[in-house]
Each structure stands twice: as C-alpha cells, then as structure tokens.
C-alpha cells in the first residue's frame, strides 16, 4: 500500500472526519458570521419580500393568517373608533378617548390562552352572518367604568380588589357598556352590509367562551379607552368564519367615509335628473293583429279599440307603466287626468288581461 501525503497548509479530510466532535486539543470551532445568523433566523435586512422569507421566521409566520387581504376592515374599524368616542362620552358623561392600537390575525386557541385574567368576555351573535364574535373587557376598564358610572372622583385611580369574582352590579354596568359598543359596531358595518350584533352571554372563564375551534383563524382588534387618568382595553375578535359571507365586500377597496359614494356628484346627478325632459305616452288600447292585416290597411280604414270614453288609460314612459288616467277635454285639447300611481306588476297584469 502506498502512503498518501498531505501538503503543508492543506486539511486532511480523513483526519477531520475522525476528529469531528472530539475535544482534542487545538481543534477550532467554526463561528457563524452575522449574515449567516440572519439567514438562519430569516431576518435578512436586504430582502423586503415577505413571500421569500426562510428559516425560523418562515416557520413562525406559517402559523399566522394575514388580514391585509380584507382591506375594507380597516375602514370599518376606523369608523368604529369615531362612533365609540361619541357614544361612550354620552354613556359616561366624561371625556373619553378611543384609539385603535392594532389589527392582527391570530389563532383562536392562542388568543384564549393569552387573555389576561380576570376579565369579562362578551359572546355576541351576528344575526345576518349566522355566527358569533367575542368582545373582551380587561380588568382595568371594568373597574374604571364602574367607578365612573357610580360617581367616583376624578384624579384618583380606580380601586381594584383582586381575588374575588365580579359582582352583579359590575356585570350589569359592563353589560350596558358592551351593548353600546355592539351598537356602534353595527353602525360601522351598516354602509357595507346590514348586520345586527346581539349580546348572547357574559363569561369570566375563557373555556366557556369557545365560539370557534382552537386552530381557526380570527381577526383581533385591540382598542384603548382612556378617561383622563382611568381606562383600559377592549378587544374585538371576529373569526374568519363570521366574515366569510361578506368576504367579497371586504375585498373591495374604497376611499372615503361613504365607502365610495361622492356626495357632490350624487347631488349634481339628482339635480340634473329633476330637470330632465321625459316623453310620456297615453296608451288607449293594445291589440295584436296579423302582419298581413297591417299591410292591407288603406287610407280611410277604421280601427276599433276595446276602450270606451270611461276606460282607464295607461300612461307610460317608454315601455314602463307609470300611472293610469281618464280621457277628457280641456278647451280645444284632449287631456288625460291622472288617477293614481300603479306598480309594475299591476301594469303587466293589466296589459296581459287586455290582450
């Protein structure tokens, strides 16, 4: 067997394989540089494309669902913040500021495990969407609302008593506040689609507020309510199953408060329509005759109509019946007196009956 030599400065692969993992003296450990660490964790500062993320960050993001595919939700929740600011000021007779912290997507099971206790969870039902939603009121806001509604002094923090369940008075006051918030949420969705949010029950244990499977995705909206030196958080959670019936509407992108309606052009169009000239026809009778009879008509022929001087006359705009009237005379002109409006269905049945 011939000997195999290794030149100076080269690494013997057999020796490296034999010494892999050994703690022999002089062995050097390879240290990762910053670029390799960023690539491993998936935080590459030079790549802004989230679809090409790799490493640990890609594994973490795979468990999340992006809400950005529903851009209309941001407009709805911004409108909800403005409505809540006004309604809660009237409800508490205090200076209330409502702010939107963030909108995110989360698994329903992860959210239930992250709720800080004690808290009150309001389960409500969206009637038109045929599903449920969840509204969470934290402990700070509960005691602040109770303190404000019962005449607590300003400038003093709300008294918190831990280790006891919420009393009936506290639950009733929080229920009234939840009903105000749900009414504002209903008004926020109104320009998009009519929906009624009805309070189903109040729970203090998250296990009894399971309205969806733990793995189901949901939209989480965190709201901050400040009443000078008091306040707390309200979290609104809507499962994707609840929003699925109106998903096509939420995919639209409109700008403005009225969801795409322009009041200036709407008023201008209405003004022009009121001044538009419309041709109206008074039809005495409808008859169906063969084409041969029409071609044989001569000057002086008489057409007999199935109408009398007292018969109703159909007043039409094009082919659409508008109303009915009676034949008469005013001076030297033949006139029609309008009797009253009729529906399109009634006009169609009237036309079929004459034929």
CATH number of the domain at 161, please: 3.40.1550.10
For residue 319, being part of any structural domain is answered with yes
Q: Is residue 55 part of a domain?
A: no
- Domain co-membership, 211 together with 343: no
Encode burial over 188-198: b for 16+ CB neighbours within 10 A, e otherwise.
Answer: bbebbeebebe
Are 152 and 211 in the same domain? yes
As for how many domains the chain has, the answer is 2
Quick check: pTM over 0.75?
A: no
Residue 97, strand partner residues = 226
Which residue from 126, 102, 136 is spatially nearest to 241, judged by alpha carbons? 126
Q: Which two tokens stand for residue 18?
A: 């034999």
pLDDT in tens, the chain (355 residues): 444 444 444 544 444 444 444 455 555 677 778 777 777 666 554 444 444 555 566 565 555 555 546 778 888 888 999 999 999 999 888 888 899 888 888 888 888 888 888 889 999 999 888 889 999 998 888 888 888 888 776 655 555 556 678 888 889 999 999 999 999 999 998 888 888 999 998 988 888 888 888 888 888 999 999 887 788 899 999 998 888 888 877 777 654 445 555 678 888 888 888 888 888 888 888 888 889 888 888 888 888 887 777 788 888 887 888 888 888 888 888 888 888 776 656 555 555 554 4
* Token couple for 72: 């209309």
Q: What are the C-alpha distances in Å from 87 to residues 71, 163, 180?
A: 25, 32, 7
* 76 and 167 co-located in one domain: yes
User: Does 238 share its domain with 281?
Assistant: no
State whether 157 and 213 are in the same domain: yes
| 146/229 same-domain check | yes
Residues 119 and 183 in one domain: yes
Do residues 246 and 324 both lie within one domain? no
Whether 259 is covered by a domain: the verdict is no
- Identify whether residues 187 and 331 lie together within a single domain: no
Q: Is residue 44 part of a domain?
A: no
Q: In terms of domains, do 237 and 350 share one?
A: no
Strand, helix or coil for residue 322: strand
Classify strands 97-107 and 119-126 as parallel, antiparallel or unpaired: unpaired
Specify the residue for token string 């049945």: 349
Asked whether residue 87 is assigned to any structural domain, the reply reads yes
Place of tokens 């009903």: 179
Residues spanned by the domain of 311: 277-286+307-354
177 lies in some domain: yes
């Amino acid at each position: 067997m011939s000997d195999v030599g290794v030149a100076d400065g080269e690494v013997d692969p057999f020796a490296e394989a034999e010494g892999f993992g050994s703690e022999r003296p002089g062995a050097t450990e390879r240290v990762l540089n910053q670029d390799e660490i960023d690539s491993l964790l998936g935080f590459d500062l030079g790549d802004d494309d989230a679809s090409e993320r790799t490493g640990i960050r890609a594994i973490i993001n795979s468990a999340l669902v992006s809400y950005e595919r529903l851009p209309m939700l941001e407009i709805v929740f911004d409108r909800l913040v403005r409505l809540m600011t006004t309604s809660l000021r009237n409800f508490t007779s205090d200076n209330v500021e409502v702010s939107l912290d963030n909108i995110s997507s989360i698994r329903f099971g992860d959210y239930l495990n992250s709720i800080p206790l004690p808290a009150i969870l309001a389960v409500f039902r969206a009637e038109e969407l045929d599903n449920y939603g969840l509204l969470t009121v934290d402990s700070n806001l509960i005691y602040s609302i109770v303190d404000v509604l019962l005449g607590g002094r300003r400038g003093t923090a709300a008294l918190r008593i831990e280790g006891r369940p919420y009393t009936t008075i506290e639950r009733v006051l929080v229920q009234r506040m939840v009903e105000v918030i749900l009414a504002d949420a209903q008004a926020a969705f109104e320009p998009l689609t009519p929906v009624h949010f009805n309070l189903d029950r109040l729970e203090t244990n998250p296990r009894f507020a399971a309205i969806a499977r733990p793995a189901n995705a949901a939209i989480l909206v965190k709201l901050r309510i400040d009443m000078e030196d008091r306040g707390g958080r309200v979290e609104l959670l809507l499962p994707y199953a609840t929003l699925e019936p109106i998903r096509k509407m939420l995919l639209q992108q409109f700008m403005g408060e009225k969801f795409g309606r322009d009041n200036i052009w709407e008023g201008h169009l209405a003004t022009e329509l009121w001044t538009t000239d419309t041709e109206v026809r008074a039809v005495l009778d409808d008859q169906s005759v063969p084409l041969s009879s029409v071609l044989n008509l001569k000057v002086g022929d008489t057409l007999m109509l199935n109408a009398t001087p007292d018969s109703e006359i159909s007043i039409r705009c094009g082919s659409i019946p508008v109303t009915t009237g009676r034949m008469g005379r005013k001076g030297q002109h033949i006139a029609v007196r309008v009797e009253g409006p009729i529906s399109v269905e009634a006009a169609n049945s009237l036309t079929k009956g004459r034929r």
